[in-house]
Structure 1
Amino acid sequence: MPPVRVGVSTVLMNDKGEVLVGKRIGSHGANTWQFPGGHIDHGEGIAECAVREMKEETDLDVEFKGIFAITNDVFVEEKKHYITLFSLCALKDPNAVPVLMEPHKCEGWFWKSWEDVMKIYDAAASGASAERLFLPIENLVKQTRNIHDLLPSKGEVRMIPRS
């Protein structure tokens, strides 16, 4: 059996409360909507991973705010298993624009309301659409249909140690 890996999925909200999502290509979860993120590298902290992945994928400089949810994600067909840590980050420059840095992994970055994310989930669940969310986000939605319930009103989460 392959080992369980740890990934960080980073939620970035703009001043309208929209979240940054991209459509995956070329790996497990292809053609699903995802937040920026990836694997924690050996010796890397959670905050460092969230900030690094955001920069590598979108060229955005962000500040890590904390972890707000954890999911257990088993990709049965791909024989992959992840524990996903959902982090919240904030833009250092509110006027910065995401850039597609890895076109072989993602079709593009888009701002969507959480309601739009829920519409993708509901349409896929009912069979009305082939569009889907990446499994960790589906599992996050199963924890709560309103991401704002997981985030304090000011968009801050409790800081966790950097170790």
Structure 2
Amino acid sequence: MSPAPEIGIAVFILKDDKTLFGRRRSSSIGAYTYALPGGHLEFGESFEECAAREVKEETGLDIKNIELLTTTNNVLSDKVHLVAVFMRAFLSDPEQTPQNLEPDKCEGWVWHDLKNLPEPMFGPLREMLRGGFNPFPNDSK
């Protein structure tokens, strides 16, 4: 029997013309690559609830205006099938500063412009952004 796909929520937190990235420490998916805040969807949880919970757990940030952007279907190996759900959100208070609340899982959080992306980046995220995906609303950058 094949393992079931995992559902991961990743959140583009937008501030001015930047989005928040963190470099993951060892993990089963995306080890030592830059990724968005996020994590696994829990049973019974909405995408928005998962996004707010994971962002708070990892960064201490409160977010608002959480919305679904897109999904990707990624078979990363013969044992890892990840359905990535990409969300967009904004800071509830723009003066908030991200904290590294899970230092065993992440090296820290940094704001990056999409024109100057950190590397190495998590593969599915890198391919999506290099393909021209823009998480910003149409009326902004």
Length-normalised TM-score, structure 1: 0.78
Q: Which amino acid aligns with 1:133?
A: M
Instruction: Measure how far apart 1:65 and its partner are.
Output: 2.7
Q: Percent identity?
A: 35
Report the 3-state secondary structure (helix = DSSP H, G, I; strand = E; otherwise coil) of the residue aligned with 1:11.
strand
Instruction: Measure how far apart 1:26 and its partner are.
Output: 1.5
Which ranges of structure 2 fall in alignment gaps of 5 or more residues? none
Instruction: Measure how far apart 1:68 and its partner are.
Output: 1.1
Consecutive aligned runs of 4 or more in structure 1 exceeding 3 Å deviation: none
Tell me, yes or no, if structure 1 residue 4 matches structure 2 residue 5: yes
Q: Which amino acid aligns with 1:110?
A: V
Are the equivalent residues in 2 in contact too, given 1:9–1:36 (CA < 8 A)? yes
Match of 1:138 in 2: 126
Match of 1:160 in 2: none
Alignment of 1:9-158 (within 5 A): 9-15=10-16, 17-27=17-27, 28-76=29-77, 79-117=79-117, 120=118, 131-141=119-129, 144-148=131-135, 151-153=137-139
Which structure dedicates a bigger proportion of its chain to strand? 2
Structure with the greater alpha carbon radius of gyration = 1
Are the equivalent residues in 2 in contact too, given 1:63–1:91 (CA < 8 A)? yes
Which ranges of structure 1 fall in alignment gaps of 5 or more residues? 121-130, 156-163
Report the 3-state secondary structure (helix = DSSP H, G, I; strand = E; otherwise coil) of the residue aligned with 1:100.
coil
* Matched positions, count: 139
Are the equivalent residues in 2 in contact too, given 1:73–1:139 (CA < 8 A)? no
Which structure dedicates a bigger proportion of its chain to helix? 1
Instruction: Measure how far apart 1:42 and its partner are.
Output: 0.4
Compute the RMSD of aligned alpha carbons: 1.8
Report the 3-state secondary structure (helix = DSSP H, G, I; strand = E; otherwise coil) of the residue aligned with 2:39.
strand
Report the 3-state secondary structure (helix = DSSP H, G, I; strand = E; otherwise coil) of the residue aligned with 2:116.
helix
Are the equivalent residues in 2 in contact too, given 1:58–1:100 (CA < 8 A)? yes
CA deviation profile, 1:49-72 (whole Å, cap 9, x unmatched): 000000000000001431112111
